[in-house]
């Protein structure tokens, strides 16, 4: 089936499988990539929201609960998909036909009831399992009568090698993936703009979350890519804050980190804006600082650049900005060597984005995350290449858990103007996050439409408040 972008989605998924098989380079044996099963909510007859394992979804192009993508080194790929029986069809419907699933996958799809016999014919062969490895424990739910009876020689190390290959392939997005990520970014844009217009003093974080998410869904989102973060005032300092009934107060900032998911692909965008119509005083200074750091990081992002270097440059610039504002004292590079800026910017510059919000393959093989506060939460450590999608999301926060820690206050006694910091403990925080596609020439911001300049945000706030 031809898509609007002039490519054939099923053929692109077939290409992914061909690349994986080539790089796996197996002479014999079997690889299983189960999607995962529906997970019951304990004590009820309900299930958690289903999310197919991204490795299955990447290689199969679909993500049916209980689906298994199977590979035989000699015969190639087969997709097994559960078919509901009559009783299940009464309650949950027929579901997609085998033919439809197979067409989307670019493969012949077989009923899951045939998986047992397919495995039986390969009894005792070397076996690797990627994606969801629950099949050895819950075989009957995948339609396999007895796992132990198959006498497979499962090889953990080999499974890990094959997983790593898939994670590496997933870094550079193909045209179908990029089309979905653009759709997700467009839906996210609609939600954020609605939020920026509708926020006001007296509205709760939960109410704003609903206004934003309803636009995601109206624009085609299947789910939110992650739990939306909406924090007003001091709550904006909590990096992954779950919205509450707390109402926004006059003069506060609102931080919204929320993204739509379409076709399994995530968008991840953060905007920070005033409850009123203007960023005031220190809000304005700190917003300009974070916006400058973010803009320069995006400008530097291009093929060959180490993501870690972008993060370190952003750390030095954040330190310099905090020195200029009188919150830190000393010299920026020396402060970063001692991790002083991490008191205010305690997370990484961003991460890979795709079938997961924190997508696979973020660290080059062999690179071990550092324990240093500046690097501890850096989720991407690799040279950027065309087709990679990363987030770039610096921030500055006043986090009580760090700034009231007596050990940290002692360690950074001379580096921080503690009196000023103590006056800002209820400030909250500022984060600005965009989704960035690395291109041959540099970078394209997929979320560029969503306003972030001071002027654009203030104008939208005036419009929204009718001011
Ligand atoms: Mn993010």
CA of 242 to the centre of ligand 1 (A): 15
CA of 391 to the centre of ligand 1 (A): 6
Query: Are the C-beta atoms of 23 and 65 separated by less than 8 Å?
Result: no
CA of 358 to the centre of ligand 1 (A): 7
CA of 164 to the centre of ligand 1 (A): 22
CA of 95 to the centre of ligand 1 (A): 33
CA of 258 to the centre of ligand 1 (A): 9
What's 451's domain CATH number?
A: 3.90.230.10
CA of 158 to the centre of ligand 1 (A): 31
DSSP annotation of 146: -
- In the chain, how many domains are there? 2
CA of 311 to the centre of ligand 1 (A): 14
CA of 393 to the centre of ligand 1 (A): 7
E-only strand ranges, 260-363:
260-262, 265-266, 269-274
Query: Residue range 324-337: average pLDDT?
Result: 98
Per-residue pLDDT at 1: 43
Is 246 inside a domain boundary?
A: yes
Grade residue 5 by pLDDT with cuts at 50, 70 and 90.
Answer: low
Do 161 and 226 lie in a common domain?
Answer: no
Do 320 and 404 lie in a common domain?
Answer: yes
Q: Is 83 helix (H, G, I), strand (E, B) or coil?
A: coil
Is 397 inside a domain boundary?
A: yes
CA of 270 to the centre of ligand 1 (A): 8
Q: Is 191 helix (H, G, I), strand (E, B) or coil?
A: helix
Give 3-state DSSP helix, strand, coil % of the chain, rounded to 5.
40, 15, 40
Least confident residue range of 76-85, 139-148, 443-452:
139-148
Is 409 inside a domain boundary?
A: yes
Q: Is 458 helix (H, G, I), strand (E, B) or coil?
A: helix
Do 203 and 108 lie in a common domain?
Answer: no
Is 4 inside a domain boundary?
A: no
E-only strand ranges, 279-351:
none
CA of 392 to the centre of ligand 1 (A): 8
CA of 198 to the centre of ligand 1 (A): 23
Is 3 inside a domain boundary?
A: no
Of 169, 184, 199, the position where a domain reaches its end is 169
CA of 445 to the centre of ligand 1 (A): 14
Percent of the chain at pLDDT > 90 equals 94
Do 245 and 346 lie in a common domain?
Answer: yes
Q: State the residue range of the domain holding 20.
A: 9-169
Do 325 and 357 lie in a common domain?
Answer: yes
Distances (CA, A) of 198 to 69, 251, 274: 45, 16, 12
Distances (CA, A) of 437 to 125, 265, 392: 41, 14, 11
Grade residue 436 by pLDDT with cuts at 50, 70 and 90.
Answer: very high
CA of 434 to the centre of ligand 1 (A): 8
Q: What is the pLDDT of residues 149-206, one digit of tens each?
A: 888 888 899 999 999 999 999 999 999 999 999 999 999 999 999 999 999 999 999 9
pLDDT score of 3 more than 80:
no
CA of 349 to the centre of ligand 1 (A): 9
* Residue-averaged pLDDT of the chain: 96
Do 383 and 345 lie in a common domain?
Answer: yes
pLDDT score of 2 more than 50:
no
Residues 6 or more apart whose Cβ sits within 8 Å of residue 103: 1, 10
Handedness of CA 181, 182, 184, 185 (dihedral sign): positive
CA of 82 to the centre of ligand 1 (A): 34
Backbone dihedral angles phi then psi of residue 319, each to the nearest 5 degrees: -60, -45
Closest CA to 446 of 427, 433, 460, 428: 433
Q: What is the pLDDT of residues 72-94, one digit of tens each?
A: 999 999 999 999 999 999 999 99
Helices (H), 128-204: 156-169, 175-198
CA of 318 to the centre of ligand 1 (A): 18
CA of 405 to the centre of ligand 1 (A): 26
Do 137 and 279 lie in a common domain?
Answer: no
Do 194 and 133 lie in a common domain?
Answer: no
CA of 266 to the centre of ligand 1 (A): 10
CA of 23 to the centre of ligand 1 (A): 30
327/430 Cα distance (integer angstroms):
15
CA of 224 to the centre of ligand 1 (A): 13
Residues with CB under 5 A from ligand 1 (ion): 268, 391
CA of 244 to the centre of ligand 1 (A): 20
Do 265 and 159 lie in a common domain?
Answer: no
Q: What is the pLDDT of residues 15-31, one digit of tens each?
A: 999 999 999 999 999 99
Is 33 inside a domain boundary?
A: yes
Across-strand partners of 79?
A: 69, 109
Of 169, 196, 224, the position where a domain reaches its end is 169
257/433 Cα distance (integer angstroms):
8
CA of 259 to the centre of ligand 1 (A): 9
Helix H or strand E segment including 311: helix 307-324
CA of 295 to the centre of ligand 1 (A): 16
CA of 227 to the centre of ligand 1 (A): 11
pLDDT score of 334 more than 90:
yes
Do 151 and 192 lie in a common domain?
Answer: no
Do 158 and 190 lie in a common domain?
Answer: no
Across-strand partners of 274?
A: 253
Grade residue 4 by pLDDT with cuts at 50, 70 and 90.
Answer: low
Query: Residue range 372-393: average pLDDT?
Result: 96
What's 144's domain CATH number?
A: 3.40.350.10
Distances (CA, A) of 290 to 296, 314, 434: 10, 9, 13
CA of 348 to the centre of ligand 1 (A): 9
CA of 37 to the centre of ligand 1 (A): 27
CA of 294 to the centre of ligand 1 (A): 13
CA of 460 to the centre of ligand 1 (A): 24
Distances (CA, A) of 260 to 165, 268, 329: 28, 8, 40
Is 2 inside a domain boundary?
A: no
CA of 379 to the centre of ligand 1 (A): 10
Is 453 inside a domain boundary?
A: yes
Do 125 and 180 lie in a common domain?
Answer: no
Of 169, 200, 231, the position where a domain reaches its end is 169
Q: What is the pLDDT of residues 237-296, one digit of tens each?
A: 999 999 999 999 999 999 999 999 999 999 999 999 999 999 999 999 999 999 999 999
């Amino acid at each position: 089936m031809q898509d609007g972008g002039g490519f054939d989605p099923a053929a692109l998924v077939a290409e992914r499988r061909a690349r994986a098989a080539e790089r796996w380079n197996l002479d014999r044996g079997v690889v299983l990539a189960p999607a995962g099963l529906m997970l019951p909510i304990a004590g009820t007859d309900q299930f958690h929201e289903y999310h197919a394992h991204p490795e299955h979804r990447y290689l199969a192009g679909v993500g049916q609960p209980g689906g298994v993508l199977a590979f035989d080194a000699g015969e190639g790929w087969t997709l097994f998909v559960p078919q509901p029986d009559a009783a299940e069809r009464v309650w949950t419907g027929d579901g997609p036909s085998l033919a439809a699933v197979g067409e989307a996958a670019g493969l012949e799809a077989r009923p899951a009831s045939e998986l047992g016999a397919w495995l039986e014919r390969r009894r005792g062969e070397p076996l690797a399992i990627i994606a969801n490895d629950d099949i050895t424990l819950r075989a009957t739910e995948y339609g396999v009568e007895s796992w132990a009876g198959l006498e497979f020689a499962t090889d953990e190390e080999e499974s890990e090698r094959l997983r790593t290959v898939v994670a590496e392939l997933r870094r550079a997005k193909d045209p179908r993936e990029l089309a979905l990520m653009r759709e997700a970014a467009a839906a996210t844009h609609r939600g954020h703009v609605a939020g920026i217009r509708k926020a006001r003093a007296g509205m709760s974080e939960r109410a704003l979350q609903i206004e934003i998410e309803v636009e995601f869904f109206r624009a085609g989102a299947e789910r939110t890519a992650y739990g939306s973060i909406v924090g007003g005032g001091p709550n904006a300092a909590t990096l992954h804050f779950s919205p509450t009934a707390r109402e926004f107060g006059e003069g506060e900032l609102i931080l919204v980190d929320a993204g739509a998911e379409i076709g399994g692909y995530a968008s991840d965008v953060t905007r920070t804006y005033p409850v009123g119509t203007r960023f005031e005083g220190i809000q304005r200074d700190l917003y300009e600082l974070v916006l400058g750091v973010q803009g320069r990081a995006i400008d530097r992002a291009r093929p060959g650049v180490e993501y870690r270097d972008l993060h370190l440059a952003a750390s030095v610039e954040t330190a310099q900005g905090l020195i200029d504002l009188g919150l830190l004292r000393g010299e920026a590079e020396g402060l970063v060597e001692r991790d002083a800026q991490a008191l205010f910017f305690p997370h990484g510059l961003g991460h890979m984005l795709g079938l997961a919000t924190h997508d696979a393959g973020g660290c080059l093989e062999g690179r071990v995350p550092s324990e240093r506060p500046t690097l501890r939460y850096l989720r991407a450590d690799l040279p950027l290449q065309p087709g990679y999608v990363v987030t770039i999301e610096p921030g500055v926060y006043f986090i009580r858990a760090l700034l009231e820690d007596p050990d940290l206050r002692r360690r950074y006694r001379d580096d921080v103007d503690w009196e000023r910091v103590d006056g800002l403990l209820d400030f909250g925080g500022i984060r600005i996050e965009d989704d960035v596609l690395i291109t041959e020439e540099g970078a394209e911001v997929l979320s560029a439409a969503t306003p972030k300049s001071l002027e654009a945000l203030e104008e939208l706030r005036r419009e929204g408040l009718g001011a």
